[in-house]
Amino acid sequence: MKINLSSKEYDCQRVFCIGRNYVEHIEELGNDRPESPVIFSKPATSLVTAGSTIRFPRCGETPHFETELVVLIGKKGVPENFEDAATFVSGLAVGYDLTLRETQNHLLGKALPWEICKGFDDSAPIGKFVPFSGSAADLAKIEFSGSINGKLRQSGDTAKMIFPIPELLLAISKYWELLPGDLIYTGTPPGVGALSAGDTLSATDHAGNTFEWVLENPGK
Ligand code: ZN
């Protein structure tokens, strides 16, 4: 997917995601606090731009919502340290990491990969990116929120992350050299829940921009 940010166009080929990055969310799902960032990925084809309809999963399972802050990587390379990692961030947006929770619990129970419960078609709704050129400290005070059918369900603040954004970039780049256009879904704050067919999802970023998507109602 092409991402436009202040007259520059990025070609997004990879979507990384972080699981279990907020203490209160770990507690609500009854998971253990991770020793290092939990990294997984979605295909870039799972992205859905704001204003679109999210296709209902053809497997028939209703997805759950997770509102997240999403980082856009602006340059190629491997960050040297915490402060240097912040210089790789060129934009921030809000998005949803849609999850087939029932399938996920089943896979987790059998220690199988998460691919189908996290990376299905349209599992990554994404808002528009706001340019970022600040420091690591600036990345630790970003607020965002998510609402379903107009009702506020999740409020996020990067200050409450277990692993701050620069640390996530350092962890990912141990395995993948960062590339311009890479996206990183940085984990969800508490308040996750099930959607229903036809629901309207909205997310508001730190600049006050709100984006909307509708989950298809296949019964209609
Ligand atoms: Zn998530």
Give residue 56 CA to ligand 1 midpoint distance, Å.
18
How many C-beta atoms lie closer than 10 Å to residue 84's C-beta?
15
Please determine, for residue 90, whether its predicted confidence score (pLDDT) is greater than 90: yes
| Strand 151-157 to 143-148 pairing | antiparallel
**Superfamily (CATH H level) for 2-215:** Fumarylacetoacetase-like, C-terminal domain (3.90.850.10)
Give residue 140 CA to ligand 1 midpoint distance, Å.
18
Give residue 125 CA to ligand 1 midpoint distance, Å.
12
Q: Output the pTM of the full model.
A: 0.96
Question: Residue 152: phi, psi to the nearest 5?
Answer: -65, 125
Q: What is the pLDDT of residues 178-218, one digit of tens each?
A: 999 999 999 999 999 999 999 999 999 999 999 999 999 99
Residue 167: band (very low, low, confident or very high) from pLDDT cuts 50, 70, 90: very high
CB 22 within 8 A of CB 100: no
Give residue 89 CA to ligand 1 midpoint distance, Å.
19
Give residue 135 CA to ligand 1 midpoint distance, Å.
24
Q: Of all residues in the chain, what percent are helix, strand and coil, respectively (each to 5)?
A: 20, 35, 45
Residue 30: band (very low, low, confident or very high) from pLDDT cuts 50, 70, 90: confident
Give residue 142 CA to ligand 1 midpoint distance, Å.
17
Residue 6: band (very low, low, confident or very high) from pLDDT cuts 50, 70, 90: confident
Q: What is the pLDDT of residues 110-153, one digit of tens each?
A: 999 999 999 999 999 999 999 999 999 999 999 999 999 999 99
Residue-range domain boundaries for the chain: 2-215
**Measured between alpha carbons, how far is 159 from 174 in angstroms, rounded to an integer?**
24
